[in-house]
């Protein structure tokens, strides 16, 4: 019997953005103490799922096939927002958000996985599960941001039970190749 593991697919920003977000998270921790997602590497979650070692091989092929037709796209992170669950995050500009949403839709239509969570609303989390007071401090701590990166790949991450964080186990570059999906013809 194959053991089942927890995985995540995400859009991975540039090393420069990863470092900038890491410093933001450290600064926030100095202000409010420990919080959920403090040690998480900057990413934009697509989906979290369970899969066996056999299933993950198939998933990799499916993700690669999708990424072959995806085109790199510029992403601008220039504002903060929150969700009712206490997530504090950087927003993605409208143009890039539409493109990334389309990529997520294509991936989810292609993948045959046991989905835990999925995200159609592209965002880069700074912190999760903050109360209203900590969210207010986070807004006060960070002024207007303008971070840009070229989104040109997806990372496959496996949950590390010891570290309680995801480890990147593979990346899939966007190759801008012609779409190889069969065309569905409409009648009438």
Q: What is the pLDDT of residues 2-53, one digit of tens each?
A: 699 999 999 999 999 999 999 999 999 999 999 888 999 999 999 999 999 9
Higher per-residue confidence, 119 vs 75:
75
- Residue listed under structure tokens 């969570």: 117
Average confidence score pLDDT of the chain? 92
Cα 174 from Cα 86, distance rounded (Å): 32
Three-state SS for 107? helix
Q: What is the pLDDT of residues 72-108, one digit of tens each?
A: 999 999 899 999 999 999 999 999 999 999 999 999 9
pLDDT at 1 over 70: no
What dotted CATH number matches 4-173? 3.90.1140.10
Cα 93 from Cα 44, distance rounded (Å): 13
SS3 content of the chain, % helix, strand, coil (to 5): 35, 35, 30
pLDDT at 126 over 90: yes
CB within 8 Å of 179: residues ≥ 6 apart: 69
CB within 8 Å of 90: residues ≥ 6 apart: 21, 77, 78, 79, 80, 123, 124, 126, 145, 147
pLDDT at 134 over 90: yes
Q: State pTM to two decimals.
A: 0.88
121 — pLDDT class (breaks 50, 70, 90) = confident
At 115 the pLDDT is 84
Phi and psi at 32, nearest 5°, equal -120, -5
Token readout for 143 is 């002024």
Adjacency order of strands within the sheet including 44-52: 114-118, 44-52, 4-11, 153-160, 165-173
pLDDT at 181 over 80: no
Mean of pLDDT values over 117-121: 80
Domain coordinates in residue numbering, the chain: 4-173
């Amino acid at each position: 019997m194959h053991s089942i593991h927890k995985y995540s697919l995400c859009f991975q920003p540039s090393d420069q953005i990863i470092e900038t977000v890491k410093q933001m998270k450290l600064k926030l921790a100095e202000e409010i103490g420990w919080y959920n997602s403090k040690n998480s590497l900057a990413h934009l979650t697509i989906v979290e799922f369970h899969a066996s070692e056999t299933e993950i091989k198939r998933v990799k092929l499916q993700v690669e096939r999708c990424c072959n037709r995806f085109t790199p796209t510029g992403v601008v992170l220039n504002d903060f927002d929150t969700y009712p669950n206490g997530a504090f995050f950087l927003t993605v500009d409208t143009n890039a958000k539409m493109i990334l949403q389309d990529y997520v839709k294509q991936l989810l239509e292609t993948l045959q996985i046991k989905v835990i969570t999925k995200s159609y609303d592209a965002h880069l989390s700074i912190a999760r599960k903050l109360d209203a007071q900590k969210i207010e401090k986070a807004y006060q701590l960070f002024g207007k941001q303008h971070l840009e990166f070229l989104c040109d790949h997806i990372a496959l991450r496996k949950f590390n039970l010891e570290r309680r964080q995801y480890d990147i186990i593979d990346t899939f570059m966007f190759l801008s190749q012609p779409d190889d999906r069969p065309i569905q013809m409409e009648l009438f």
